[in-house]
Amino acid sequence: MFDLFRNHRRWMQFILLILIVPSFFLVGIQGYESFISREPELATVAGQPITRGEFDMAHRNQLEQFRQRLGSQFDPALVDTPAMREQLLNQLIDQRLLAQVAADNRFSVSDGTLRNTIAAIPQVQDNGRFSPERYRQVLAAQGMTPTSFEAGLRRDLAVARVLEPVTQSASAPATVTAALESALTQQRTVQVRRFDADAYRAGVTVSDQDIKAWYDANKQQLTVPQNVTAEYLVLDEAAATQGVQVKDEDITSFYEQNKNNYGQPERRRASHIMIELPAGASEEARKAARAKAESLAKQAAAEPDKFAELARAESQDAGSAGNGGDLGWMGATTLGGPLAPLSKAIFGLSKGQVSGVVESPAGLHIIKLTDLQPAAIKPLAEVRDEIAAEIRKQIAATRFSDMASELTKSVYDQRDSLQPVADQLGLKVRTAAGITREGLLPADQAGANAAAGGPDAALLDNPRVRQALFAPESLRDKQNSGVIEISPDTMVAVRVAQVQPEQVPPLEKVSDSIRERLVAERAAEAARKAATAALDGWKADAAAQPEGFEPAVVVSRQQAQQLPQPVLEAAMRLPSQPLPAYAGVADGDDYVVVRLEKVEPGTADASARDLLARQLGAAWGQAEDAAVLDMLRQQYQVKILPEAAAVLKSQDQSAG
């Protein structure tokens, strides 16, 4: 058979050509392209596709950035939402769109601009200047070469030029800035009267029929989501130190080996007289400065007791001359680097002794040692508890490492129970109820042993812990999870002990909370009605002086004077004429009446005005950028294809 193909190859090619070519007329070349290729397309820009693969790669990178930023608190369910995925797709479209505009208009970046941009990157600078060696090291650490990095940066800079003219020229109109400044600084004198809902609770009655009716009409609000009771083990520093005993001989040995850590090294206090000697001074100036310094050194050595007076009169160190040249207490390493000669001189003197002339980059110095504290070591009795805690910590670190390894290995030995590994490591199996996919149920809903009310609430509310509990094998088979590292010193293993399906609690279990809710709602309504009635009376008789209002305060949008935000907003929305003016607003269950007495223009200082102008300019620029992008989307026929809808709604990518 194969010999037939080999011996008649040209004939076989001709036959295949006859069979294949007519089929193009039946399905079309486009059909073959669709059949052969290519991955789904989510959008097109000027006819060029953005594929599912491109989106998935950008999506994984985005999730990884969130994971690195949030650490153990990373929860894909919170960040990987349809809205976030739609925003990501729009970012990819805008990037492609701007790149296309830059290419069509031949935008380019000069070599000089590229060099200046790279030189301004802090990571490639050494002491504030561009370092070629550091530049190559940073790129190598990222797996990049200068050629590839510079090509990508040149492209990005060219793309940035598309919107650069819009952004740089954007500024809010002066009338808009002035109007906003006036609104922000305007001052209003107001009084408020609060109608407290609690004052009306005594007059509220709620019957059993009311509770039943509310229960029947609002069962959806009462639905308790699926939740689990979990068994779990916690391995942390407390578990690793449990039962650790520190021996007296270990404390003594540690103390002897680390005495220097429990003492104070020698400290010295000195004063100096300084004669300035600039780095570029001429030889003549240097000779004059040294002659003066040597003369002062002789005077100081002859009359050490008058050193402070001499320093006040002759020292050119403005920082210490007024204090008689006092430099304060210092250790042997306090003065390092260029000032090391001073330190060497200070620690070479006896108490009360005056040095000769000592030169440093700052100038010429004459030094007197005014006091010293010899090195001292604290006795063992003073540091015993501190040493015991340190030894215990070191033992715990070793034990923690060993226990973590054993926990990781043994948690799978018996998958349906944590008790064996708990017994092996000396840990206690803990339990907690009311853990849902999204968080912890309130203690009153979860009942006894609620996770939300326990000491491990933060640990059990960790997204990774909840993900492990609601993994299919955990819910279905109630198997042990793997070890979850919450932090470097805390590890957890969990398993589902019991699953509570989504349910509406029976009426008798929630009747008290419903009663409280209805009482609060009706008390709030009574407060609102009383306030509205009083408000109508005050509006009808504007000249009257109403009673019960708090003392007047002057407020602005920037100075709330402790007014709640809803009350402040109501006060600032009132018309400035006629006065007085009144408004009513709910503040929680209470109802507040605002009385506006006076409106005065405010003023902003120059710095605040400049800041406002810059902020408005930035916002205006962003709005104009968005408008330009919308125009370019139309010009380049941007289309979001039907395939995108399923991708944006999908949860399959959330794991990254």
**pLDDT tens column, 317-367:** 888 888 999 988 988 888 877 788 888 899 999 999 999 999 988 899 999
Residues 115 and 57 in one domain: yes
Neighbours of 258 (CB within 10 A): 12
pLDDT of residue 38: 66
Residue 88: give its domain's CATH number. Answer: 1.10.4030.10
Neighbours of 522 (CB within 10 A): 18
pLDDT of residue 534: 92
Instruction: Confirm whether 633 is domain-assigned.
Output: no
Which residue range(s) make up the domain with 57?
41-169+639-648
pLDDT single digits (tens) 290-300: 999 999 999 99
pLDDT of residue 155: 81
Instruction: Confirm whether 366 is domain-assigned.
Output: yes
Spans in the chain with pLDDT lower than 50: 1-37, 652-656
pLDDT of residue 187: 93
Residues 290 and 367 in one domain: yes
pLDDT single digits (tens) 16-28: 444 444 444 444 4
Residues 406 and 494 in one domain: yes
pLDDT of residue 263: 79
Instruction: Confirm whether 142 is domain-assigned.
Output: yes
Residues 273 and 232 in one domain: no
pLDDT of residue 651: 53
Could you give the CA distance from residue 268 to residue 505 in angstroms, rounded to a whole number? 75
Residues 274 and 361 in one domain: yes
Residues 205 and 306 in one domain: no
Q: With H, G, I as helix, E, B as strand and everything else as coil, classify residue 591.
A: strand
Residues 372 and 396 in one domain: no
Could you give the CA distance from residue 434 to residue 452 in angstroms, rounded to a whole number? 8
Instruction: Confirm whether 210 is domain-assigned.
Output: yes
Residues 6+ apart with CB under 8 A from 407: 233, 235, 421, 425, 483, 491, 493
Domain boundary among 343, 377, 411: 377
- First CA to last CA distance, the chain: 50
Instruction: Supply 618's token pair.
Output: 């930035």
Residues 489 and 515 in one domain: no
Could you give the CA distance from residue 276 to residue 586 in angstroms, rounded to a whole number? 71
45: left (phi over 0), alpha (psi -120 to 50) or beta: beta
Residue 319: give its domain's CATH number. Answer: 3.10.50.40
Instruction: Supply 29's token pair.
Output: 């070349």
Cβ-count burial 129-163 (b if 16+ within 10 Å, e if not): eeeeeebeeebeeeeeeeeeebeeebbebbbebbb
Instruction: Confirm whether 204 is domain-assigned.
Output: yes
200: left (phi over 0), alpha (psi -120 to 50) or beta: alpha
pLDDT of residue 72: 66
Q: With H, G, I as helix, E, B as strand and everything else as coil, classify residue 109.
A: coil
pLDDT of residue 451: 94
Q: What letter does residue 270 receive in the DSSP assignment? A: E
pLDDT of residue 555: 93
Could you give the CA distance from residue 517 to residue 163 in angstroms, rounded to a whole number? 54
Instruction: Confirm whether 632 is domain-assigned.
Output: no
Q: What letter does residue 495 receive in the DSSP assignment? A: E
Instruction: Supply 396's token pair.
Output: 């715990």
Residues 449 and 565 in one domain: no
Domain count, the chain: 5
Residues 50 and 125 in one domain: yes
Output the pTM of the full model.
0.57
Domain boundary among 446, 479, 500: 500
pLDDT of residue 444: 84
Instruction: Supply 549's token pair.
Output: 């209002």
Domain boundary among 482, 500, 518: 500
Residues 51 and 154 in one domain: yes
Instruction: Confirm whether 352 is domain-assigned.
Output: yes
Instruction: Confirm whether 624 is domain-assigned.
Output: no
Residues 496 and 514 in one domain: no
pLDDT of residue 650: 64
- Give one DSSP letter per residue of 400-435, joined into a string: HHHHHHHHHHHTTTSTT-SHHHHHHHT---EEEEEE
